[in-house]
Amino acid sequence: QKEVEQDPGPLSVPEGAIVSLNCTYSNSAFQYFMWYRQYSRKGPELLMYTYSSGNKEDGRFTAQVDKSSKYISLFIRDSQPSDSATYLCAMSARAGGSYIPTFGRGTSLIVHP
Amino acid sequence: DTAVSQTPKYLVTQMGNDKSIKCEQNLGHDTMYWYKQDSKKFLKIMFSYNNKELIINETVPNRFSPKSPDKAHLNLHINSLELGDSAVYFCASLAAGGDEQYFGPGTRLTVT
């Protein structure tokens, strides 16, 4: 079993839909949880970052962490065609000051007009 | 103004050749990384450099060698290229005590 599991999709939704992206993990030492967005032929860029369980909202994006279930989610409200990208979850447990993130394989999202 | 830059953007070469990919960051960050992203989009860490010292090496073949002439640069040298080395290689940097990595645009390496 991989440390971080993420369904690769593709996930295809109509414009305006609510999108739910999810990751599960097995390492209970993970404390930091991130969502990156990667457009085609570009580098990943940080979208959301959370440290503890609960919800964090930023505009149309909400990140949710459930440490008891080892499950994280990213919700996108009122999805737009410009949201079409690959979304990678990442998580880490700081070890002696080193930052060693583990990435999921990414979910490809397609928002069609 | 580009924060993390990589050259070249595309690299096509034959098996057995030696090649280098360059990375520069102008963010003043202390830690830089090299990642490999394969065709299935898995992003795997290869190396991390902190203040010119290697602190992570995730079982990468010794054909790959990172070289950091200074804090702003982390180059990746690959000897005896193999077909399986074909992938997109990303450089990233991280501020001291930070959690947000800044990624470069990637170098698409194709080995024929």
Q: Specify the residue for token string 């010292």.
A: B53
Report whether B24 contacts B4 (CB < 8 A): yes
A14-23, A96-105, B27-36: least confidently modelled range: A96-105
The reported pLDDT for the residue numbered B52 is 67
Q: What is the pLDDT of residues A32-84, one digit of tens each?
A: 899 999 999 899 999 998 887 889 999 999 999 999 999 999 999 999 999 99
Q: What letter does residue A98 receive in the DSSP assignment? A: B
Judged by a CB distance cut-off of 8 A, whether residue B50 touches chain A is yes
3-state class (DSSP) for residue B84: helix
Q: Compute and round to an integer the Cα radius of gyration of chain A.
A: 14
Q: How far is A104 from chain B (nearest CA, A)?
A: 7
Q: Please say whether the beta carbons of A92 and A32 come within 8 A.
A: yes
Q: Is the pLDDT of residue B26 over 90?
A: yes
| Site from B30, B88, B91, B99 to mutate, A interface, most A CB atoms within 10 angstroms | B99
For A2-16, write each residue's pLDDT tens digit: 789 999 899 999 999
Contact A100 B56 (CB under 8 A): yes
Cross-chain residue pair A43–B92, CB shorter than 8 Å:
yes
Confidence at A18, pLDDT banded by 50, 70, 90: very high
> Could you give the CA distance from residue A23 to residue A4 in angstroms, rounded to a whole number?
7
